[in-house]
Structure 1
Amino acid sequence: MKWIKKDLQQFIQAKEFVDTAIVPLLPFQLSNDASLEKDAFQSEALSVFLRELEKELTGRVMLAPNYHYVKTADKESELDRIGKWIDDVQAQPFRHVFFITSDSGWKKNEQALPGTMIWLPVTGGESDQGTMQTVIREHVQEVSELIRSYWKDDSKS
């Protein structure tokens, strides 16, 4: 389910089945001309990936709105703001929270995130559309399997 009216109406009716929230972490920075295109490409690629992932896991996941932050901001200072987001998210029956980003800067603060971080290395931007779709599809399959492994662990307990 996505953060759109139609899906949220369904969520309200079936929230006992939707136990996983996915929060996209997206950097934003206009002040560095040298990285604008690369940053925009990473954001676009991540958005395509997230749409495909949500389709793959429909019925069990809620794709939260994008969490935007200034790329040069101190990640530790962002943790407080993220914590407030997740406090609100966990007021619903979400058992799992996954943060998905292409910003490797989060790796140093991964343990402090109130959920599981998935880092997707997005590079390039010069590839053809077919190659890009193939790579995204492979990532979707791998991340879907990872998320499902958390669900399987739930059923064992």
Structure 2
Amino acid sequence: MKWTPQDIETYLNAKEYVDTAVVPLLAVSVGGEMKQSAAGAEFITLLSGHLERQFTGRLLLLPPFTYLKSNYGENTIRDLREWEANLAKEECKHIFYLTSELDWRTQEGGLIGTVIWLPSIPLEHMNDSQKMAVVDSQVKQLLELFTQKWHENQ
């Protein structure tokens, strides 16, 4: 389910069946890294949207956790932990973070959720069908990871 009024209403009515939250982690850079930042955001956004469609009814796709890459540090991690605390309070059993930022891999031990790092694939010169083929192949790999994590935590 997406972060829309209609899907949230469905979520609230079927909350006991939705045990997973997906949070895209998007770094925003300005200046020299702006294009790379935008490419990473496009990739993670497409990927998380496609993933949500595969697991509609099982997971809730939250809005992206967006931060300035130049300010990434303890404050960013503290803010994300607040998101986790609120999700855990709402009995969200599984939290997955999708990111193309390598820095997050070192933080997984300090988070409740699972950080999934995927190197950003530049999509800018692809047509829509090529983009979807690339994203679809990535989602197929994620399906196995999600299923494995769900079985581990039963």
2:141 corresponds to: 142
Could you tell me whether the CA contact under 8 Å between 2:40 and 2:121 is conserved in 1?
yes
TM-score, normalised to structure 1's length? 0.90
Structure 1 vs Structure 2 CA RMSD: 1.5
1:98 aligns to 2:96 (yes or no): yes
- Counterpart for residue 109 of structure 2: 111
- Partners of 2:52 and 2:123 in 1: CA distance: 23
TM-aligned CA distance change 1:154 to 1:26, over 3 Å:
same
Offset at 1:113? 2.0
Deviation track 1:76-126 (CA, whole Å, cap 9, x = no partner) reads: 331111111111111212111111101111122221122100001113345
- What residue is the counterpart of 2:80 in the other structure? 82
Q: What are the residue-to-residue correspondences of 1:6-155 with 2, within 5 Å?
A: 6-30=6-30, 32=31, 34-129=32-127, 130-155=129-154
1:125-157 deviations in whole A, cap 9, x for unaligned? 4542243322210111111111011222344xx
Amino acid in structure 2 at the alignment position of 1:133 = M
SS in 2 for 1:72: helix
Please tell me whether the aligned partners of residues 28 and 67 of structure 2 are also in contact (alpha carbons under 8 angstroms).
yes
Amino acid at match of 1:144: L
Q: Which runs of 5+ in 2 are unaligned?
A: none
CA distance in 2, matches of 1:126, 1:94: 35
TM-score, normalising length from structure 2? 0.92
**Count of aligned pairs between the two proteins:** 153
What is the percentage of aligned positions where both structures have the same residue? 31
Match of 2:2 in 1: 2
